Amino acid sequence: MNTADLIWMNGEFVAWEDAKVHVLTHSLHYGTGVFEGIRAYETERGPAIFRHLDHLDRLRKSAQLYYMDIPYSTDDLREATHELIARNGFRSCYIRPLAFRGYGPMGLDPLSNPVEVTIAVWEWGAYLGEEGKRNGVRARVSSWRRISPESLIPHAKACGQYLNSVLAKIEATKAGYEEAILLDHHSNVCEGTGENVFVVRDGTIFTPGHSASILDGINRKSVMEIARDLGYTVVERDIARAELALADELFLTGTAAELTPVRSVDDVELGPPGEITRAIQRVFDDALHGRAERYREWLDPVDVAARSAHAAG
């Protein structure tokens, strides 16, 4: 994988190869951590982080849901991230903050284990491939259901919960597909292994609502706003499995995947990305890269020049 020079770990900048933990780290055994996936994009004004505060807010909420107090303020984390990007010299990158229960007592009560926080950055290209982003990916409906709110917390972005996505992803890739779409515990369409899902039919855009056990995607929210600004109707409602194959257009959104069209589901061909997908993808891409004035406030620019001047002085 692509590395960086430095990682931020519990308040310090450490060399990539020194960012280590003990094997009895609680979260390594029990999945007791929460994380975020964020991207910074190259813009005219330097690197800019997409919806940074929304991600940091979701990190804190995920932590709360698992009774973890993050011992840093949102300002501290934002500042650390800016500094990390500047010191690593990245113009664009993926950002992975992680808060986890560290080394301490073993056993299932984690409350006396320390909450450790790290932020890593690296260069990460198109998650489902450049070709997939342009021409669409092949997806299958997973035999695994998305974690249900009866057992876990779909709205939290928690480490252990991702075993669900891992099983679905392995199943899909072993069978020759690029991505899996999971149904929820009511057999309605839920989401991809790391993306929210949108169905376009007769000019209207549909996506599952919050009661469908989705993660409240920040790109989902952004794309819904862009679609409405473009004049499309976006409806949040239950989506039946068959509606995937009956869709005129289908696409996924997520930080890693950005907006990725789906060109077939369970080998039913939907064809190349449609007009509505392309129209939204174009504006979304402009928004990410700071080319859309209307969505400028979504970007948190990193003032690299001021930071290196400061470091030099």
Contact 33, 158 (CB under 8 A): yes
Tell the smallest beta-carbon distance from residue 193 to ligand PPE (Å): 6
Output the smallest distance, CB 176 to ligand PPE, in A: 19
Burial class for 13, CB neighbours closer than 10 Å (0-12, 13-18, 19+): middle
14-43 residues near ligand PPE, rule: CB under 6 A: 37
Interface with ligand PPE in residues 158-177 (CB under 6 A): 165
Q: Any contact of residue 213 with ligand PPE (CB under 6 A)?
A: no
First-to-last C-alpha distance (Å) of the chain: 34
Apex CA 13: angle with CA 11 and CA 15, to 5°? 140
Q: What is the DSSP string of 132-161?
A: HHHH-EEEEE-SSPPPPTTTS-TTS-BGGG
Q: Mark the segment that binds ligand PPE (CB under 6 A) among 69-77, 109-117, 213-221, 303-311.
A: 213-221
260 binds ligand PPE (CB under 6 A): no
Residue number, 4 or 215, with CB nearest to ligand PPE: 215
Q: Binding pattern to ligand PPE, positions 191-210, x when CB under 6 A? A: x--xxx--------------
Spatial CA neighbour of 184 closest among 221, 139, 238: 238
Please tell me the number of Cα atoms within 13 Å of 129 on its side-chain side.
11
What are the C-alpha distances in Å from 25 to residues 11, 28, 107, 110?
A: 18, 5, 11, 11
Task: Identify the active-site residue in 157, 169, 174, 221.
Answer: 157
The answer to whether residue 281 forms part of the interface with ligand PPE (CB under 6 A) is no
Structure tokens, 236: 């949040």
Rounded (5°) CA angle 286-290-295: 80
Q: Which of 253, 260, 264, 281 binds ligand PPE (CB under 6 A)?
A: 253
Among 255, 264, 277, 281, binds ligand PPE (CB under 6 A): 255
Whichever of 136 and 217 has its CB closer to ligand PPE, that residue is: 217
Would you state the structure tokens that stand for residue 86, as one six-digit string?
Answer: 């500047």
Q: For residue 37, give the nearest of 26, 25, 47, 52 by alpha carbon.
A: 52
The answer to whether 218 contacts ligand PPE (rule: CB under 6 A) is yes
Active-site annotation holds for 157: yes
- The answer to whether 8 and 80 have CB atoms below 8 angstroms apart is yes
101 contacts ligand PPE (rule: CB under 6 A): no
Residue placing its CB nearer to ligand PPE in the complex, 81 or 196: 196
For 302: left if phi > 0, alpha if psi spans -120 to 50, otherwise beta; the answer is beta
Smallest distance, Å, CB 256 to ligand PPE? 3
How far apart are CB 202 and ligand PPE at their closest, in Å? 26
Query: Which residue in the set 97, 220, 295, 299 belongs to the binding site for ligand PPE (CB under 6 A)?
Result: 220
Q: Is position 132 an interface residue for ligand PPE (rule: CB under 6 A)? A: no
Residue pair 101/110 in contact by the 8 Å Cβ criterion:
yes
The nearer residue to ligand PPE, 19 or 256, going by C-beta atoms, is 256
178 CA to centre of own chain: 17
Of the residues 110, 254, 273, 290, which one makes contact with ligand PPE according to CB under 6 A = 254
As annotated, the active-site residues are 157
Q: Using CB under 6 A, list all residues that contact ligand PPE.
A: 37, 165, 191, 194-196, 215, 217-220, 253-256
